[in-house]
Chains A and B, each alone.
Chain A
Amino acid sequence: MPPLLISRQRSLVLPIACSITYNFILNKVWNCDSRCVVSNATEGYMDNHLLHNFSLHSSYTRHFSIVEACSKSVCGDAYIGIPSDESFVKALRTEVALIDAGTFVESRDSANKPILYPTFEIVLKENKSLWPVVVLENQGLLYCALPLIQQEVVTQKDKADITLADLPGVSLAVEALNGLVQCAPLTSSMTSLNTALTMQVHQFVNTCMSFGRVTCSNPFLVSQLINPSGKGKAKQPLWNPVPHKAKSQVIIHIKEEVRCMQFNHNEVRDAMDVYGSVTCKSEVEGTAPEICITLIQPGGNDQNINGGGLTVSSAVSSIEYTATTSRLRFRPCNNQPLCHYTLPHLTKPPIYGEFKLRLNKSLVTVYLQLQLQAGIRNHFQQLEAHIPFYGLQVSIVKPSSSVGSVSVQSGSTLVWNVGSKFPTKLLNATLSTVCKLRRKIDSSAEQEVGGKDMNGWEQFTSSCALVLFKMADYTYSGTRVDPQSIMVSSAPKVRCTVTTECVSSQYKIWNSEAEVPSVTDMPVQDLQKLLIE
């Protein structure tokens, strides 16, 4: 059995008199071995474009019986019990369009359906529905929680006027589910929650969410919360249950990601984002230590100055900006990102690409050229290009690449491994190959369908090449932390380590000879003008 987690949670008493309690449902909703359609342009929330074939398993469900009792009392006749896992998961899959994905479902697709993501109204039998089911997706798994909310909201027929801002239970549910994701790091390839993992989740839920009330969402503190230190005279913060006794050390890691969509189209502008996260693992002395670091970003990152933005963990108590630095003061927050940054002023991609794909019956001609931008470090831990043909089998007829090797992975993805660097002089590499496509057939079937049934294959011309790269000790934006700037309030000497990496994320180069899923410029100026009016 598989993925995931629990269900109805309750009880925070709020100004607006609402109780919040959660039950969680941990479900594996799909497997990734899918038939399907061309990879979509969109990243998408719970985007299921690769996931048309999946199998259903339920795994971990947790109900809080006291919460259910309160829910009954709060809702009276309108109370809807939580159904069996199977029924719930089936309804959930319908709601997120994993089943009935090709047809109109009124309860899901009706034009007047309120838009309250990330909560979903899960329609059960007899026209009953559960709301608000908070859904979070991670690694192909859906994690759900159902907060207990006040009766008026539950029974309100027209949910168009509801705002999630009035439901703190939803925010807590998102945080709790994030904690559960960290507590049970499952992937869609896992087929069951083993006993050890089940116990781990139980311990986390019972320690940090007893009675469905979330008191701490950091699963890495669980063992320390159970066996905390209590000998000090000063008050011990909950976020530091056991003070560190040995030599202090701080390890900073910056992970920068570059996502990109290149179209090579006159009418369509390329899109790119450079963003990253800084994590800080610290083992420092003191009851309530504070750490200071200076994040240096050559392009600056104060949202008030250049529209960029640093968004920080709740552990950060203050930020001081200069033109190119952000000095953060924070309490230890291991395993959680200290901050996330985004740098919208960076618009030049590190690698330019040109991708052409032509289909001639069952033969496909692929041309891909990659050009490293001058000034970018030419040393990669990984540098590959993937061209997927979902649901088809690919075989290489005539491989030809200026550098590296070409192979087929999982039967349906053409993979070009460029190597660890671009040729030094030209800084570019080219792949030009011909492949043969066949319909994927069941391994038990003996006959091949090779090239006859080609209905719908034209969709593959509207596809993209995915570039995957990884560079260690490097950030594209130049973001760094000066180890000399790291200070710990409780320790004059600290061992500091700073590491960085730069990776691609959704780095797509679209077939320039086909339709692309993007448009020319949006009406930015007109809209801006209207807003100011």
Chain B
Amino acid sequence: MSCVNRNLVALGLGYLSESTDFPSLLDQLIKILLEEKGSEKFASKYNVAIFIELESAALIFSAADVELIFVALKNVFQECTKENSPLLHGQCILSMTTVLLQAFEKVNEEELGVLFTEHIEFLLGLVNQTNNVNNIHIRSIAARCLTEIEICFPQILKNCVDSLYMAAVVETSIAHQCYMSLLALVISHSIADKINETSLWGKYPNTQWKSNFIQQEGDTLITGYTDLKEMVSFLVDQLPLCSTEGVAWITMQIIDMMLHKPDLQASAQVLKPLVLHFSNTYSTVAGHVVFLLEKHLGNLIFQEKDMIQLLQQLLLNSSHPSLSASTRLLYLDWLSDYLSRRPEKIASIQDVNFVLPGSFDGPETHLKKLKLLSSLLKNKKESSVPLLHALATLQKQMKCKSSIKLKSALIKVLYRYLCDHHNVDMSAEVPRILVAVTKEDISFVPFVLNFIHCVQDILPKSSVPSCLLTSLVMAFTQPDSAATLATFHFVLDIFLMAVTQDLCICQPKAILNYLMKYIVCEEVCGLLSWMLGHQILSLCFKLMSNYDTVVFFYELCEVLKMFMANSEDVDLLDRAHIYHSLLVSLSNKKIY
């Protein structure tokens, strides 16, 4: 109810939030809709219509609820016809359609059959009032409602193709874009061998719906190649009148048709003007249209120069400082996809600066560009050095400012490098970089440990994890280790991971000596937190259980003894005492 109340308040209907339940709220809403007309009532009726659209799922419990809403909204709709208020008019049919489609989720479909049929008739009736200057907006919305119904019940408007085509041809107002979008979808569904079933599909109707309103003259469905070709040509001819989003929708339907009907691909050249028109754009929607045409019908439409132009545009938009970061990142993704499908075009990148991270790039752009660079240089000899060199800006930025995003970016890039270029150079350099960064900033430890896990998963035979862990243990058991008591838990995490590995990686003696000297010594041990103390003892236990204690018996005994001598916490003392007893009184085999 809180979300409902929020919507009520946002729509200026907060006074209704006192209604205790949904049925009584619905009653209140209906009451407002049925109130006398008047300009002051317009705003509240409009808001109620929006609210019903937003909360249809919560408001409907039975077919009676749906009918009640329909009656009320239709009543408002008829009032609007006299008062010429297109906004409310349009909202009424939007809300009615939403309620009806939503109702199929909650109400037995048989109870909705009549209402559903009547509603489609009603919408088609509106759509067929072509060139009526008094209801252009309403007819646009009606066409969108029919589009939504066709999406939910694919092929339900199959029999209306000819009528919709005629309406789209005749209509001269801006409603024609909605007509064309609907037409394109219906044709696309009509010729599809298999349609995507939605939750609503199959719930209605068992017998295919037939329009009584539109008279069909025999079987005039456009299924033949010639008709279809003409239809596609018609749709393409009308594209210059549409918004970019409209062009995208219709073009995607046409691509869909061509993929379903390979015969139709012979006329793919009709889409060439679109490629020329959008080849220099920064619009993500228009750009994606060109990209999809290249991807699906590339060989039929694109010539070599078009391919190069597309590459140039992808490079430009992925680094253009005027464009938003979201847009640039999207173009970077497409660029990566394009070059992975067409590796022969990599050599056409005339300026590698486009894919190199720059001073103004943020962590996300750094990451994405370096990932792209790594994939471009896959399988190329001697690529490791320049790739690692390309990391320099990121590393420098990390030196100036410790940021989680920069750390995250660095670890992801190195992981990608290693996956793409698992060679001797990279296997040696990646651990070196990671250890260096960790020594400078110990909070990097969790990233490195996660890196080890990820590499172990994807490259089980790689020597990098063991090499890295060995180096880390060595680095953090040295007297000059940068760890402090506050950051010691990071070091302990390294030791705890190392203890699950081979003895040569773990180096128990070095670890235990380090603990003796700096952690469980008299000055520090009393300062250890309860949690940290237990973690150290867990480490001791794991050393005992994972390895043959003969190798480090003396050191381990000393650590436990120092713990017993220096710790003031009873829990820790007990636990240390138990481990010490186990160590000295049981044989290795028993401990192990």
- CB within 8 Å of B: which residues of A? 11-15, 17, 19, 37-38, 40-49, 60, 62-63, 65-66, 68-70, 72-74, 84-85, 97, 100-104, 106, 108-113, 115-118, 134-138, 163-166, 168, 170-172, 174-175, 177-178, 193, 195, 198, 202-203, 206-207, 210-211, 213-218, 225-239, 241, 257, 259, 261, 271, 273, 275-277, 288, 303-304, 307, 309-319, 337, 340-342, 459, 462, 506, 515-520, 522-524, 526-528, 530-533
Contacts and interface: CB of A to CB of B under 8 A. Distances in A.
B283 interface: yes
16 contacts: A13-B188, A17-B196, A19-B196, A70-B198, A111-B414, A111-B415, A112-B457, A137-B325, A239-B243, A241-B174, A275-B322, A314-B277, A319-B280, A342-B320, A526-B386, A526-B389
Interface in B113-142: 131-133, 136-137, 140-141
A13 B78 CA distance: 34
A113 B88 CA distance: 47
B414 A171 contact: no
Contacts of A342: 316, 320-322
B172 A13 contact: no
B283 A175 contact: yes
A273 B361 CA distance: 12
A158 to B, nearest CB: 10
A316 B280 contact: yes
Contacts of B197: 73
Contacts of A273: 321, 360
10 smallest beta-carbon distances between A and B, as pairs: A44-B362, A73-B199, A45-B325, A340-B322, A104-B446, A230-B173, A314-B286, A111-B415, A523-B386, A271-B359
B245 A165 contact: no
Nearest to A84: B3
A104 B392 contact: no
Given A311-B282, A313-B281, A314-B244, A15 B252 contact: yes
Interface in B93-124: 94, 97-98, 101-102, 105
Interface stretch (B369-377, B476-484, B513-521): B369-377
B330 interface: yes
Interface stretch (B216-224, B394-402, B500-508, B525-533): B394-402
B281 A316 contact: yes
B90 A206 contact: yes
Contacts of A207: 90
A426 B147 CA distance: 69
B196 A13 contact: yes
A516 B392 CA distance: 12
A320 B50 CA distance: 47
A58 B457 CA distance: 39
Nearest to B458: A112
B320 A309 contact: yes
B429 interface: no
Contact of B249 (A12, A17, A210): A12
B144 interface: yes
A135 B329 CA distance: 11
B241 interface: yes
Contacts of B312: 303-304, 309
Interface string B399-429: 1110111011001101110000000000000
A314 B278 contact: yes
Interface string B64-101: 00000000000000000000001100110010011001
B253 to A, nearest CB: 7
B386 A527 contact: yes
B186 to A, nearest CB: 11
B8 to A, nearest CB: 12
B393 interface: yes
Contacts, number: 433
Interface of B is mostly: helix
B504 to A, nearest CB: 24
A89 B334 CA distance: 28
B281 A312 contact: yes
B334 A218 contact: no
A369 B329 CA distance: 37
A213 B249 CA distance: 10
Contacts of B457: 112
B172 A15 contact: no
B285 A172 contact: yes
Contact of B259 (A15, A45, A106, A275): A15
B334 to A, nearest CB: 5
Contacts of B166: none
A233 B170 CA distance: 10
A255 to B, nearest CB: 9
B396 to A, nearest CB: 5
Nearest to A195: B12
B255 interface: yes
B347 A69 contact: no
B10 interface: yes
Contacts of B286: 314
A111 B360 contact: no
Given A104-B447, A206-B50, A215-B246, A115 B196 contact: no
Interface string B311-323: 0110011001111
Nearest to A242: B174
Given A198-B11, A340-B282, A43 B133 contact: no
A214 B371 CA distance: 32
A503 B335 CA distance: 31
Nearest to B60: A65
A506 B347 CA distance: 34
A111 B320 contact: no
A197 to B, nearest CB: 10
A311 B281 contact: yes
Given A168-B248, A340-B282, A210 B141 contact: yes
A202 B12 CA distance: 13
B320 A275 contact: yes
Contact of A118 (B2, B329, B400, B401): B329
B322 A174 contact: no
Given A236-B176, A528-B352, 13 more contacts: A13-B189, A13-B196, A17-B196, A45-B325, A62-B54, A97-B408, A111-B411, A166-B337, A210-B148, A235-B238, A311-B282, A527-B356, A528-B351
A232 B256 contact: no
Contacts of B56: 65
Given A40-B403, A163-B336, A524 B322 contact: no
Most A C-beta atoms less than 10 A away, residue of B53, B137, B141, B359: B359
Contact of B137 (A37, A42, A104, A227): A227
B152 A517 contact: no
B353 interface: yes
B241 A237 contact: yes
Given A135-B326, A198-B11, A101 B199 contact: no
A38 B326 contact: no
A230 B133 contact: yes
Contacts of B458: 112
Nearest to B412: A111
A531 B94 contact: no
Nearest to B388: A523
Nearest to A232: B172
A43 B362 contact: yes
Contacts of A46: 325, 362, 364
Contacts of A519: 392-393, 396
Contacts of A257: 321-322
B259 A523 contact: no
A117 to B, nearest CB: 4
A233 B340 CA distance: 49
Contacts of A277: 322
Contacts of A113: 412
A41 B359 CA distance: 7
Most A C-beta atoms less than 10 A away, residue of B87, B240, B316, B352: B352
B352 A524 contact: yes
B163 interface: no
A320 to B, nearest CB: 12
A529 to B, nearest CB: 9
Contacts of A38: 400-401
